[in-house]
Structure 1
Amino acid sequence: MNKLIYLFSFLFLWSIHVNIQAQNDKLEIYMVDGDLLQNGVELLSFAHFASARPILTDTLLLKNTSDEVLNIKVRKNEIQVVNGTFNVFRALAQDVPAAEYITPNVWELAPGEMLPSDAYFLGNYFHQGQIGTSTFVYSFLTIGAEGQIVDSVYVTYHFLNNSVTPLDQNDQMFLNKETLVTGEPDVLVSYPVKLFNHNMDSIAMRVEKEVINMEDGHEVYFSFGGEEYESSFDFSSEEGYYIQSMDTLFGENCFTAFFKANGIDGNTELTKVSYIFFNKEEEADQSVITLVFNPSAVGFSELKEYDISSVYPNPTKDVFSIKHNLSSGVSSVLKVYNSLGSLVAIKEMNHQQLLSTFSISDWEEGIYYISIEIDGKPIGTEKLIKE
């Protein structure tokens, strides 16, 4: 039986541009046991690696909570798909093949009505024995009189066909995502990562450290399996460290990344490191996390090598802007991290424009970190407050 972990994220879908709207108070998504799912919930479904059986979503139902008849369709968005794999789904008593993305016919749902059992939603992911994670968004759409999409609610499913998945300290999966780690220039920063083995067998895991970018004077190293590996080591022990089936490794024997800024806080470039967790017996069976270390709050305008203004206005409710004078030959990308350090949005910056403005009216209130990468190298990071 698949093991499901519920992950709640309000900004992830904004970052992947699937054009899905917020909760509309007209439709609700339910499990067959009657549990209400939060709009935008992220769900994980695991294979057992050796099995060739497809991985299934939960069986889901819809309820019309409005006082009007709703015309419903269901749409699939492919966010990340492992090569050679595919997804089909059944919804509203209609089968949608892998090459199609939306139910062809609408379903009328009366006020207060729950979908009948034969109109359930169920998605099948055929991993074909390929190792990796595929992600699909399933949107339950309200269709207007002229066939346009009026509203939607949605769920995201991550289908995992690997052995071990890294989790943060809140038990949320990394999903190969990038994470910003903040700290002080003179303080050792440690970042622990849990490892969950959802395979039916114990797995001997190893770790590879891959430095993508390093600020002069910074230092990174890690510990795993109770052993600390100095900055000169890129791999953990060849013997690997065993994680038992359906067990989560944490604590002193688990993985911890360490970062020492050694008092250097100029942020000319931020240090960026990927850590690859791989099966000793099958190296393709792996998961990756990427950490960007920011040892201070030096603003863009304080970076002598770049002509970039600070983020303004700050705090803000609707938009923020950045003035910049960037060379035409460089690639410039703005990244947004939430207060937990998770990467939630990526935007390209046009070097032909001297001002970039970004709408954030649909963001949750709170603290965000705005970072800029020039030719793949992360530079300064600034804090932004959304009111």
Structure 2
Amino acid sequence: MNKILLLTTLLLFSIFELQSQSLMVLNAEDKSDVSNGTLIRIGSYDESTIEVGAYVKNTSGATINVWVKKYTNEIVSGSEAYFCWDGCYGSSTNSSTNYLSVAAGDTIKAFSGDFKPNGLSGISNIKYTFYIDHQTTDSVSVNIQYNISVTGINDIKDQYQISSAYPNPATSVVYFNYTISGNTDGKIIIYDIVGKKVKELITDKNSTQARADISQLNPGLYLWTFEVNGISVKTEKLLIK
């Protein structure tokens, strides 16, 4: 039973992160550029395996040989992280033993960063770096964050309803209509395009509408998410003019 809610947002590692001149990482879901950013997957502790796909694009003018290295930045003890590239490796393997050749301008769809919660909850961050023939100076990375809850999304789906944000596009104020059960905690969070939280609203059980003042936010694309009991259950785009 699939209980995974996809939440994809781009978070910059650092302004000092080295940018690849030859490689780009794309989100397999929507083909957006997530180079040196973060893909977030929200799932349930009872999932067997959570698979996160990413595409690697050769932006250079020549064929290149691409390798993969895994960095376990943070992991819930007892869970497992592993990846597939030229083949699928065990959780104890951190580097691919072979490369994949990518022609100039081509995109390869072989990568998968997989995670086994093993019945455990918590947040794990695994970074994967793609590099050319051991040339670490020409590389690109993507961090995959696995946010595993002890409660599945299907377990709380009857406890809430929420509309899309309106108006959208918006200029100064945006509204959300919702219903939420008396024993459920909910909040609406708005993020900018680099993943910084810019607004948070706590839902009122005695109300059915939330109002967000966005007049101080810069024009551009944002993401908003609705959390119920700490689980992100809905995420959509918001355009501010």
What TM bracket, shorter-length normalisation?
0.5 to 0.7
Selected match of 2:38 from 42, 53, 57: 42
Q: Mind listing any 5+ residue stretches in structure 1 that lack a counterpart?
A: 15-20, 165-197, 204-239, 255-278, 280-285, 288-387
How has the CA–CA distance of structure 1 residues 11 and 27 changed in structure 2, closer, same or farther, with 3 Å as cutoff? closer
How has the CA–CA distance of structure 1 residues 35 and 131 changed in structure 2, closer, same or farther, with 3 Å as cutoff? same
- Which residue in 2 is equivalent to 1:158? 145
Selected match of 2:9 from 7, 10, 24: 7
1:94 lines up with 2:102 in the alignment: no
| 1:55 Cα deviation from its structure 2 partner | 1.7
- Residue deviations 1:172-229, cap 9 Å, x none? xxxxxxxxxxxxxxxxxxxxxxxxxx632239xxxxxxxxxxxxxxxxxxxxxxxxxx
Structure 1: 4+ residue segments shifted above 6 A: none
Between the two proteins, the alignment pairs up a number of residues equal to 173
Distance 2:44 2:107 in 1: 33
- Which residue in 1 is equivalent to 2:128? 138
1:149 lines up with 2:131 in the alignment: no
| 1:78 Cα deviation from its structure 2 partner | 0.4
- Which residue in 1 is equivalent to 2:156? 202
| Structure of higher CA gyration radius | 1
Give secondary structure in 2 for the equivalent of 1:23: coil
Q: Output the TM-score relative to the length of structure 1.
A: 0.39
- Residue deviations 1:322-341, cap 9 Å, x none? xxxxxxxxxxxxxxxxxxxx
Give me the CA root mean square deviation: 3.3
Structure 1 or 2: more strand by fraction: 2
- Residue deviations 1:146-195, cap 9 Å, x none? x442311111111111158xxxxxxxxxxxxxxxxxxxxxxxxxxxxxxx
Distance 1:82 1:139 in 2: 21
- Which residue in 1 is equivalent to 2:24? 28
Q: How does 1:107-256 map onto structure 2 within 5 Å?
A: 107-115=100-108, 117=109, 120-143=110-133, 147-162=134-149, 199-202=153-156, 241-243=183-185, 250-253=201-204
Q: Output the TM-score relative to the length of structure 2.
A: 0.60
Distance 2:106 2:13 in 1: 30
Distance 2:135 2:68 in 1: 13
Q: Mind listing any 5+ residue stretches in structure 2 that lack a counterpart?
A: 158-181, 190-200, 206-228, 232-241
Give secondary structure in 2 for the equivalent of 1:200: helix
| 1:13 Cα deviation from its structure 2 partner | 9.2
Structure with the greater relative contact order (CA < 8 A, sep ≥ 6): 1 or 2? 2
How has the CA–CA distance of structure 1 residues 68 and 6 changed in structure 2, closer, same or farther, with 3 Å as cutoff? same
